[in-house]
Chains A and B, each alone.
Chain A
Amino acid sequence: MIETITTLFSGKSGIVLLIILGILAFATLIVSVIFRAKTSQELKDRIYSWWIIIGAFILGAMLNTTVAMFFFALISYLALKEYFTLIPTRRTDRRIIFYAYLSIVFQYWFAGAQWYGMFIIWIPVYLFLLLPFRQVLIGETQGFLENTSRVQWGLMMFVFGLSHLAYMMTLPAVAGHDVGGKELVLYLVVLTELNDVLQYLWGKALGRHKIVPKVSPNKTVEGFVGAFVTLSALAVAFSFLTPFTTLQALAAGMLISGAGFVGDVVISMVKRDIGVKDSGHLLPGHGGILDRVDSLTYTAPLFFHFTYYLYY
């Protein structure tokens, strides 16, 4: 037990985890002790939920690779369920939705087994061809295109996209470096979430000009630029978790900041389309799980292929 904890918090990833927990403890201290009276309930809920999210991430993803496969599969499942609850569905779509859930098991099995070929084509090719065929067997033509597309889109975002985290986890250490999959996942997740927080903070501090007023009125140009610059610097600062050169780390930071923003507003687009503010109620102050993994649906596959191309 004690040995597990010391291993968890030792080495390069351990240092980063301690830094994150330190920042969170500091934020909690400020909010619940020093500015107790002035803080809104929403901010308190938000910070409280961050403890849960970070705790779940450390226990789920950082302890052991096998556990991490189940953990990321569970995240995919919860996100997909939230998405399917939001979108309009016909009674006949229940069948293909059931297949969509089932596909998670296979996708994460391929990730865990490091079966790259199947991992990369299972959803974009096989499921993509199978679901319309199943719809043909059911025979309900009315609304076929809309509904099948909706289900496939959800699969691409929340199963295919997010499962890149799981595959990345299994990547071995790069020759000549002592960092591998676990450190890369930590690097990606920490930077993606920091990017969200930084956009919010920069926007609060300086935000004047709305960047996508129709989709997400709270996002500002100042927030985006501020986070973009800060995150690029942080990407270099944290690059000891990766095999990257300084230039590569800078590029990774820009990629994560830009892609994270796009992922965020794409999910906002879905919520606007359906007409809800939060995707769910799982995390107080954050909304649902989709609101938390939105940026990752973009950063995970993009960062994965960036790294995979350079080093694997």
Chain B
Amino acid sequence: MLKWLFFALIVRPTILLIFGVHVRGREHLSHDKPCIIVANHNSHLDTLVLMSLFPLRKIHRIRPVAAADYFMKNRLIAWFSTQFIGIIPLSRKVERSHTHPLESVRQALEAGDSIILFPEGSRGEAEQMSKFKSGVAHLAKMAPHISVVPIYLGGAGKVLPKGEALLVPFIIDVHINEPMMIGEEDTQAFTERLEEVIKKAGERDV
């Protein structure tokens, strides 16, 4: 409920009216089937922009995967992250444990939720893409019937780059690409293919 109100009253009006989003390839995004959304990452806004692509009644089914060391840092941030955004916390450190680190994400997918993942692992420098990590491919192997939707985001890094608190309006570009399935492909090749698709979508943009 908090999440719904937050998106209905604050996030969507701000993103759509103050910044403006230009979406291409909306037909590639299914609202009914769960999917893994993968995008390049430059700004905290990225998650909010991606979540705003879905209708409000679906918003509780969209779960961004976020770094536990940052978004669960203290109780206040953790409360906000889980109640308002509905993140699935993921540890960026390698831990010895009995369960697979992506197990909670897989469970969410099984339950019919859609997942947002940023394979760069961090926001990095504004408007620059760093190398993708292979977590998405591993997740796709664990849930092979679920499609991966690669999305290129441009401009959000100008609106709110890492380390800045001042929002400055620019139009945000969202380029949704054709969904991909991993099938028999190995994780390394799939990761490279994914990175290539998103990079290409960004180049066509300029």
Contact = CB atoms under 8 A, between A and B. Distances in A.
A101 B126 contact: no
B170 to A, nearest CB: 5
Contacts of B22: 280-281
B171 A94 contact: no
A82 B22 CA distance: 11
Nearest to A282: B20
Contact of B170 (A84, A91, A281, A282): A84
A81 B171 contact: yes
Interface of B: 19-20, 22, 126, 155, 158, 161, 164, 166, 168-171, 206
A65 to B, nearest CB: 24
Contact of A85 (B126, B155, B206): B155
Given A81-B20, A281-B22, A94 B158 contact: yes
26 contacts: A78-B20, A81-B19, A81-B20, A81-B169, A81-B170, A82-B171, A84-B169, A85-B155, A85-B170, A85-B171, A89-B158, A91-B126, A94-B158, A94-B161, A94-B164, A94-B166, A94-B168, A95-B166, A97-B168, A98-B166, A98-B168, A101-B168, A101-B169, A275-B206, A280-B22, A282-B20
Contacts of B126: 91
Interface string A65-106: 000000000000010011011000101001101100100000
A115 B161 CA distance: 38
A281 B22 CA distance: 7
Contacts of B155: 85
Nearest to A274: B206
Mostly, the A contact residues are: helix
Contacts of B161: 91, 94
Contacts of A282: 20
A87 B170 CA distance: 11
Contacts of A89: 158
Contacts of B170: 81, 84-85
Contacts of A78: 20
Contacts of A98: 166, 168
Q: Which of B126, B166, B171 has the most CB of A within 10 A?
A: B171
A84 B166 CA distance: 16
A91 B161 CA distance: 8
B126 to A, nearest CB: 6
A280 B171 contact: yes
A89 B171 CA distance: 13
B162 to A, nearest CB: 10
Most central of A78, A82, A281 by chain B CB within 10 Å: A281
Interface in A276-295: 280-282
A84 B158 CA distance: 10
A162 to B, nearest CB: 17
Contacts of B20: 78, 81, 282
A198 B206 CA distance: 32
Contacts of A81: 19-20, 169-171
Nearest to B157: A91
B27 to A, nearest CB: 16
Given A78-B20, A85-B155, 9 more contacts: A81-B170, A85-B170, A91-B126, A94-B161, A94-B164, A95-B166, A275-B206, A281-B22, A282-B20
Nearest to A84: B170
A189 B147 CA distance: 50
Nearest to B20: A81
Central interface residue in B20, B126, B155, B166, by most chain A CB within 10 Å: B20
A281 B164 CA distance: 28
